[in-house]
Amino acid sequence: MSDLLLELYSEEIPPTLQEDAKNNIAENFALFFEKNDFKKVVSEIYSTPKRLIFYYNNLPTNIKTEAKVLRGPKVGAPEQAIQGFIKSNSLDPKDIYEEETDKGKFIFAKTKKREIPVVDEIKKNIPHFLNGLQWRKKMRWGDYDLSWGRPLKSILCLFDKQTIPFNFFHLTSTNITYVDGPLEDKAVVIKDYIHFKKTLNDKRIIYDNAEREKLITKNIQSFLKKNDCELEINNKLLKQVINLVEDPIVLKGSFLKDFLKLPEELLILTMQHHQRYFSMRSINNHKLINNFIVVVNKEDIKNKIIKGNERVLTARLTDAKFFWEKNKSQNLVKQVSKLKGITFYQSLGSLYDKTQRIRVLASFIADIINCKKDDAEIAASICKADLVSDLVGEYPELQGVLGKYFAIEQGFSLEIANAISDHYLPVGPEDRVPKEKISITVALADKIDNLVGFFGINEKPTSSKDPYALRRSALGILRILIENRISISLKELINNSKNSYLTQRVNMQNVKFTEEILTFMTDRFKNLLKDQKIRPDVIESVLYNSRSDDYFSLFTKIKNLNKVLKSNDGQNVIAVYKRCTNILEQSKKDLKQELFGDPDTVLFQHNEENFLLEKINEIREHYTTPARLRTVEQTMSLLAGTKGFVDKFFDNVKVNDENEQIKKNRLELLFLLCKTFDSFADFSKFEV
């Protein structure tokens, strides 16, 4: 068996671009192996800031092809098409011939059974793999035509220890790699993969991503243990740092304790996002301490590296402190008017207009969920005020969070301050939802305002695009309602929001936006339910004919129904419904009249008919009880209780009586039973 080594050596590539490139090229190799039926290939794929490494073992030496007849373009087709057919199939022009078919005269060629050296196919395909690489960001340099994530310096390619020479733009592949030298990169001739790994290891180039992670994690844990600290966990940052270094060295730095007076989130963002440092907490009180961990690429001689990092962090924190001192005392209420100068969206007014709409809707919601109305209105009015601050301008990721701290500094209640921060939540599917009532009212109002505004002006999401994150808004609304157990009519909230837009004379050109929003919400709701492993047929059975826009009640019903269906009651309900509908389907073919579910008791001839009707009426009486007072379990128990009555009905009553009037009346009774079942859920949707 053969092996292949490919190394792409470049200037330092950012972590996200590394991952994209590595995965893209690896996928192309995998498709190539699958196409050629290479079944036992063993792969090793690595990346460092300067290297993308692909190693494949257990490759066959040759590719076996069977003899076959290939049909090409029609006779008379453009010469370019004919040449393309010849080239793409590696044909000799002498081998093509013409032949008549029922669809006209075509060019054909017969290929022979043969063995193609794998090395030839690899040599031909690798340039295509590289050229098809989709970079998020790429660059050209000098006079070269090649666009790459960062300047590509060399390509090493060996197959069974032999160089595979191919051209890729201005570069030709060789058997040479490069390692750091005193002044410039040093060239090293590589014999095979074992020699390649030894060469890198000897120069302390840790090419294995997992090994670098293990080393970094081990050294960080050692630091923490010595200093009685714990790390501010950030797996995304760890993944980035792993791909920033080839020989990771973990260092500990510090900054002035005075900076700890700044909001924690501001400190953490400055360290982690802007500098890629790990922030640290005391193991005793879990508060941030004035130390950080940085991972660098070489030994720190005389502490020069850590001192440089400390200087950079101090400069950033000094700027942050300046803006904090300036902004924290600027009255949030007075800042609201400045929102008039910030456009929310061209057709939807300014951010000031948006906050006024949010305030009105938050007040409406507050009444429904028994929240402090005045506090909800205050929180809604100032929830966007921090957007005009210098600090949010520098740290846009902290919108809302900084507003919360400004509000606390200015004496607002903690509930109002939390609402400013929490009204953006949840940001992602794993993010927490607001739990305090004021936060809930403002968060719902903000997200509903987004949906109503953009649907109202026909700026709706498509299957591929959602530039205004309306899916996120919809899912956020659903999660807030469900996780806080809030029963509320979404249509009422939409109408209230619509009135605010109309009051501001916004041209709501889409007259069907209310129905479209509810449909959009229901689609998101279905996805949410499926993510919770609820059966699709259960979801459809409840939602198919439902006109409810109370998503918490729907969620509770669907989730409980999904559970009850596994019980004896659930199985009995399905059995009764299927038995009755089967009889109805068979009998309707002969019946020339429509059924309405309105049996006439005068035509009853058996006690079983009366008993079944009484049971149906008992269930219908149960439906008149307010929904909040009846459970799914109670309803399903009542429906399941019809089984004995239905069994006796079919045992003692002949449905298809010779008397057409009596036959129809008995079918009306069965139809009424099915209608009664369907009033709870459409049981025809259930898969047996």
User: Is residue 468 very low, low, confident or very high in pLDDT (cuts 50, 70, 90)?
Assistant: very high
Q: What percent of the chain has pLDDT over 70?
A: 100
User: Is residue 476 very low, low, confident or very high in pLDDT (cuts 50, 70, 90)?
Assistant: very high
Q: Is the pLDDT of residue 64 over 80?
A: no
Query: What pLDDT score was predicted for residue 557?
Result: 95
Query: What pLDDT score was predicted for residue 162?
Result: 96
User: Is residue 429 very low, low, confident or very high in pLDDT (cuts 50, 70, 90)?
Assistant: confident
* Measured distance CA(482)–CA(79) in Å, rounded: 65
The region of weakest confidence among 92-96, 497-501, 566-570 is: 92-96
Q: Is the pLDDT of residue 138 over 90?
A: no
Query: What pLDDT score was predicted for residue 589?
Result: 73
Give per-residue pLDDT as tens, 69-97: 888 898 888 988 888 888 877 788 888 88
Q: Is the pLDDT of residue 431 over 70?
A: yes
Query: What pLDDT score was predicted for residue 281?
Result: 93
Give per-residue pLDDT as tens, 447-465: 999 999 999 999 999 989 9
Query: What pLDDT score was predicted for residue 182?
Result: 66
Query: What pLDDT score was predicted for residue 688?
Result: 63
Q: What percent of the chain has pLDDT over 90?
A: 78
Give per-residue pLDDT as tens, 516-557: 999 999 999 999 999 999 999 999 999 988 889 999 999 999
Q: Once rounded to an integer, what is the mean pLDDT over residues 310-325?
A: 97
Q: Once rounded to an integer, what is the mean pLDDT over residues 142-147?
A: 85
Q: Is the pLDDT of residue 144 over 90?
A: no
Domain ranges (residues) in the chain? 2-62+118-202, 67-112, 209-327, 332-531, 562-685
Task: Name the nearest CA neighbour of 359 among 476, 472, 438, 422.
Answer: 438
3-state secondary structure of 270: helix
The length of the chain is: 688
Tracing tokens 């826009």 back to the chain, one arrives at 549
The secondary structure of 506-529 as a DSSP string is: -----TTHHHHHHHHHHHHHHHHH
Task: Name the nearest CA neighbour of 355 among 478, 500, 509, 474.
Answer: 500
Query: What pLDDT score was predicted for residue 518?
Result: 97
Say which residues have a Cβ less than 8 Å from residue 591's Cβ, sequence separation at least 6. Answer: 663, 664, 667
The secondary structure of 385-436 as a DSSP string is: GGGGSHHHHH-GGGTTHHHHHHHHHTT--HHHHHHHHHTT---STTS----S
Tracing tokens 């047929």 back to the chain, one arrives at 537
Q: Is the pLDDT of residue 183 over 80?
A: no
3-state secondary structure 323-360: HHHHHCCCCHHHHHHHHHHCEEECCCEEHHHHHHHHHH
Give per-residue pLDDT as tens, 229-273: 998 778 899 999 999 999 999 999 999 999 999 999 999 999 999
Sign of CA dihedral 587, 592, 598, 600: negative
Query: Considering the chain, what is the average pLDDT of its residues?
Result: 93
The region of weakest confidence among 111-120, 157-166, 213-222 is: 111-120
Q: Is the pLDDT of residue 1 over 90?
A: no
CB 172 within 8 Å of CB 126 = no
Q: Is the pLDDT of residue 430 over 80?
A: yes
Give per-residue pLDDT as tens, 585-623: 888 777 777 889 999 999 999 999 999 999 999 999 999
CB 382 within 8 Å of CB 376 = no
* Measured distance CA(339)–CA(388) in Å, rounded: 7
Report, at the CATH architecture level, how domain 2-62+118-202 is classified. Answer: 2-Layer Sandwich (3.30)
Query: What pLDDT score was predicted for residue 203?
Result: 92
Query: What pLDDT score was predicted for residue 611?
Result: 95
Query: What pLDDT score was predicted for residue 562?
Result: 94
The secondary structure of 159-182 as a DSSP string is: ETTEE---EETTEE-BSEEEE--S
CATH class assigned to 332-531: mainly alpha
Query: What pLDDT score was predicted for residue 270?
Result: 96
Query: What pLDDT score was predicted for residue 680?
Result: 94
Preceding omega of 182 cis (within 30 degrees of 0): no
User: Is residue 629 very low, low, confident or very high in pLDDT (cuts 50, 70, 90)?
Assistant: confident
Q: Is the pLDDT of residue 438 over 90?
A: yes
Q: What is the largest CA-CA distance in the chain?
A: 107
CA distances from 442 to 415, 428, 477, 618 (A): 11, 18, 11, 44
- In degrees rounded to 5, what are phi and psi of residue 484? -105, 5
Query: What pLDDT score was predicted for residue 115?
Result: 80
The pTM assigned to this predicted structure is 0.83
Domain 562-685 has CATH 1.10.730: yes
Tokens in use for 39? Answer: 């079944």
